[in-house]
Amino acid sequence: MSKYVNVFVFLMGFTFFSLVACANSGTENGITKKIVVDKSGGGDFTSLQEAIHSVRAFDPEGPTTIYVKNGIYREKIVIPDYVCNIAIIGEDKEKTIISYDDYAGKENMGTFRTYTLQVRGNDILLENLTIENAAGPIGQAVALHTEGDRIIVKNCRLLGNQDTVYTGGEGNRLCFFDCYIEGTTDFIFGSATAWFEECVLHCKKNSYITAASTPQNVEYGYIFNRCKVTLAEGVTSVYLGRPWRPYAMTVFMNCELPSGIHPSGWHNWGNPENEKTARYAEFNNAGEGAKTEQRVKWAKILTPEEAAQITIEKVLKEDFVKIVSFFMP
């Protein structure tokens, strides 16, 4: 299926399945609206934020595709909660770059204001993009910040250091497919439910990959399936996760883990009480870092029967999986 057919099916899927007001029937003859962003002036807008602002709030006429030509877009971007049912498609993930450099402490800024791209709307596709926080290793500095539901991030590069990707919102659902995500400390963190499929997680420092804050009443947090963890030169001790909040839920299954994964696997964030509540598990991982003999006793090694119960259908639920399935191999 071609990229453009994929996008069409995706958007029509959102139009059909979405429960929010913005997801109504498509435009006449099933053609989605298209906006072209080209910083050199060859499109409808030279700024991605301007293009997003042009999308009608809760658009009753159906979905919109924003096609972004190659270039470095130095912008701090927000997709508001009233802008939904859109796809933002880059020309080339290596050359279509959204970059900003805010960080915690800059002008009294807190972590949650440091984003390069913040997604508050529901039913959003991001594809073929580099989203970068270029602040450097200076502390918390978010590249992608999400607060919406039913968000797909496909074939993107998410670049940063500490706190690269924040997934917010209790019960919100995301799917990351075929993405490259790099960082240092807690570089994937938050309370949302997220499925990561065939992603590369690149660790740039001896630290922690995840810091989930899954609420107690939410069954699933982060599921990494068929992903690969890689390490920068000199990195020798990385934990799979630590609980930002007590009921953090994270699973690594069918993944490739290098020798630099700390033998204990998981960290309690300096609080033994977290060991009673954190929900950490592994299944069928490969590589030197997948050895489980020295794993902490409070993390679980799943049986095949238990692992078989963790499916994308159960994690992301039927309405979203019908859309996600168009992007899976």
C-alpha distances (whole Å) from 295 to each of 62, 267, 276, 329 are 50, 10, 15, 32
Mean pLDDT over 285-300 rounds to: 98
Mean pLDDT over 311-325 rounds to: 90
Q: For position 326, what pLDDT does the model report?
A: 74
- Residue 24's pLDDT band, with cuts at 50, 70 and 90, is very low
Count of Cβ atoms closer than 10 Å to residue 109 Cβ? 14
Q: What is the pTM of this model?
A: 0.92
Mean pLDDT over 144-161 rounds to: 98
Describe the strand order of the beta sheet including 157-159 as a list of residue ranges: 71-74, 96-100, 130-133, 157-159, 180-183, 200-203, 228-231
Mean pLDDT of the chain: 91
> Catalytic amino acids?
163, 186
Number of H helices, E strands in the chain: 5, 25
Q: How many CA atoms lie within 13 A of 136 on its CB side?
A: 2
Q: How do residues 102-120 score in pLDDT, each as one tens digit?
A: 999 999 999 999 999 999 9
Domains of the chain (ranges plus CATH)?
3-324 (2.160.20.10)
Among all chains, which residue has been given the structure tokens 């029509």? 12
Residue 222, judged by CB atoms within 10 A of its CB (0-12, 13-18, 19+), counts as buried
Q: For position 276, what pLDDT does the model report?
A: 98
- Residue 31's pLDDT band, with cuts at 50, 70 and 90, is low
Q: How far, in Å, CA of 110 to CA of 281, rounded?
A: 31
Q: How do residues 227-254 score in pLDDT, each as one tens digit?
A: 999 999 999 999 999 999 999 999 999 9
Q: For position 5, what pLDDT does the model report?
A: 40
Task: Write out the two tokens for 287.
Answer: 């590589």
Task: Write out the two tokens for 248.
Answer: 């953090």
